[in-house]
Structure 1
Amino acid sequence: MAEEGPGEDIVSEYLGQNPHLVQWVDSLRGICETNKQWNARKEFILRNLEAFPNVEPGVSSPSLDKLLSLSMVWANHVFLGCRYPQPVMEKIKGMAEGVKVLDAPVRKTRDEIMGKGKRGLDGKRYKDGPFPNAPAQNQPFFNRLYKAVAWKLVSEGGFGGPNLDHFEVLRSCVETAKASLSCVFVPLKDIPDLPVARTQREGQVCELRCQTVYLGTGYGRDEAAARAMASKEALKAFQGRKVIVRICRRRFQGNDVEDVVLVDDQTRNPTFPPALSYPFLHQSCS
């Protein structure tokens, strides 16, 4: 692709020269991606097609899965502020060279988000909470994901299999549904709402989301271990007869806030670990 000019003009010009790609690339759009998110990710995909020579439009392959996964990782980083291991960050930044995103969200440090020693929750510019229709908006996606996870677990020998990689099961099913997981990592000792006994321990906390919906939290000695435990907790919701997207109360910085969460059909009065960042700093579907 050409390296100059506004992103949409570059994409339009490239697709004008390659009309056979138009329908295929548009089929890769996620159900909850805004126009801005999709236009940027589409440019990312098209710019990197030549680096994945085994990708054939309309044909599933490991190369296509890798390209789409990297495009989602990049979009999550740019639009949702998600963080990934340094080698992954370096790779997606290199792949995104030349992609221009107008009015990209401005990121703050964790201390600014948490407002340590400064303003409380009421003094920050946060949304009041999730949109009332958020559960209904997200439920069809998670119904499909529930079926994908159920089949995947059967093929892997069940939830309690001795060699089950919970994160890989969840990640592969989410990506098959053309979405991606977002992970937030925070040092265990930096979480103010945890019990005293736990805050004295070293380690990491991981919070998992998909489509901005909270899935689970895990604790571990490092980020990989915390992510594995968060994935195991998230998969527990898929053990019921169905999954339900609900708005529930969670603690954040000593306050109760509303969050969109995934639970099973047996959960009546769920309790959740404290949120690692205010939930609605995450960009919502529109």
Structure 2
Amino acid sequence: MAEERSGEDIVSEYLGQNPQLAQWVETFRGYCETNKQWVARREFILRNMEAFPTIEQGTPSNSLDRLLSLSMVWANHVFLGCRYPQAIMDKIKEMGEGIVVQDAPVRTTRDEIMAKGKRSANAGSDADSCVKRPKSNEVDGRSAGKTAARPVNQKSGPLPQAPAEHQPFFNRLYKAVAWKLVSAGGFGPNLDHFEILRSCVESCKQSLSCVIVPLKDIPDLPAGRTQKEGHVCELRCQTVYMGTGYGRDEAAARAMASKEALKVFQGRKVAVKICRRRYRGKDVEDLMLLDDQPRSQGFPPALSYPFQSEQLEDGSS
């Protein structure tokens, strides 16, 4: 009996017989995709192309964009463990039926661990922190600082190993944002920047911290600034600063902060670093998310500071 051929072999043979199609499909490969991820997503695209009869080789179309978006969603779920609304999950599972991914990552959700009663002590701590996390994306600056308060006998500021501990999460977030922006047609002024950032963060099982204060209450404004109306918003995730924005109202400030945060993801990579910035008139060390572009150290003043004990916070107010 002849040995059964894998889907990868069949796809390779088919593309070998259709070189123009192979060249066209190769243009869909993402910059950050590994060979393993691309081979699987390429098979997904080819298997489902017939379900979109308006797709024409070499011609952009809405149908092609939809197929590519679904292929990215499927790959994100298979390789990154991302979750989406149930209707989308059902759709991509149906479209991906029959595709075999060798050594695909196996992930266990927190709910599954709890149901089996096999949580370790560390997993239990993580679960407790998830339960305590506010459901709202907006918290005031003072409470944001206290949620991550340290014992009084510890030095104020992020620990030296903090950037390395946070980097794996932001590498995953970088990939999620990249796929999301590709699906949205690229970074631009007409996007809902906050919704894109929020959905990507939540797909990585975390949430945004959004601190908004009136502009007139900020002590570190440049001396020449006369504008005192409006609000300023600061965004953080896992205590790491991501962006600041100004707007006439809270929604506009939040949108601008999200736009600034997404700009960081336009480089080839992102990096969590400890940088010095102003907070309540003092220089402090803060965790910041930066791109790979050279920049001056003129960072905006911090609106919140989650590395400070309550005793120190009260002393500086």
Give the one of 141, 144, 152 matched to 2:180.
Answer: 152
Give the one of 160, 163, 172 matched to 1:132.
Answer: 160
TM-score by length of 1: 0.58
1:38 correspondence with 2:127: yes
Give the one of 23, 26, 31 matched to 2:112.
Answer: 23
C-alpha separation between the residues in 2 aligned to 1:75 and 1:148?
19
| Aligned residues of 2:156 and 2:308 also touching (Cα < 8 A) | no
| Aligned residues of 2:139 and 2:210 also touching (Cα < 8 A) | no
Give percent identity, aligned residues only.
64
CA-based RMSD? 3.5
Give the one of 125, 143, 153 matched to 1:81.
Answer: 143
Give the one of 267, 273, 282 matched to 1:255.
Answer: 282
| Aligned residues of 1:212 and 1:282 also touching (Cα < 8 A) | no
| 1:276–1:77 distance in 2 versus 1, CA, 3 Å | closer
Alignment of 1:66-77 (within 5 A): 72-73=134-135
| Aligned residues of 1:214 and 1:260 also touching (Cα < 8 A) | yes
| 1:37–1:23 distance in 2 versus 1, CA, 3 Å | closer
SS in 2 for 1:174: helix
Cα shift at 1:77: 5.8
SS in 2 for 1:273: coil
C-alpha separation between the residues in 1 aligned to 2:228 and 2:213?
13
| 1:273–1:40 distance in 2 versus 1, CA, 3 Å | closer
Question: Residue 179 of structure 1 corresponds to which residue in structure 2?
Answer: 206
Cα shift at 1:40: 6.3
1:170 correspondence with 2:186: no
1:64-91 Cα deviation digits (max 9, x unpaired): xxxxxxx65269969x9349xxxxxxxx
Cα shift at 1:24: 5.5
SS in 2 for 1:256: strand
| Aligned residues of 2:139 and 2:211 also touching (Cα < 8 A) | no
Look up the equivalent residue of 2:167 and give its one-letter code: Q
C-alpha separation between the residues in 1 aligned to 2:306 and 2:148?
16
Question: Residue 272 of structure 2 corresponds to which residue in structure 1?
Answer: 245
Give the one of 263, 270, 273 matched to 1:236.
Answer: 263
1:213 correspondence with 2:243: no
Look up the equivalent residue of 2:220 and give its one-letter code: D
SS in 1 for 2:191: coil
Cα shift at 1:277: 2.6
Greater CA drift, 270-279 or 163-172? 270-279
C-alpha separation between the residues in 2 aligned to 1:37 and 1:262?
23
- Larger-gyration structure (1/2): 2
C-alpha separation between the residues in 1 aligned to 2:271 and 2:157?
19
Cα shift at 1:270: 3.4
SS in 1 for 2:135: helix
Give the one of 112, 133, 141 matched to 2:169.
Answer: 141
C-alpha separation between the residues in 2 aligned to 1:215 and 1:282?
22
| 1:125–1:220 distance in 2 versus 1, CA, 3 Å | farther
1:101-138 Cα deviation digits (max 9, x unpaired): xxx9699xxxxxxxxxxxxxxxx998421100010000
Alignment of 1:83-122 (within 5 A): none
Runs (4+) of structure 1 exceeding 6 A deviation are: none
Q: Which runs of 5+ in 2 are unaligned?
A: 1-109, 117-121, 311-317
C-alpha separation between the residues in 2 aligned to 1:194 and 1:22?
46
The count of corresponding residues between Structure 1 and Structure 2 is: 193
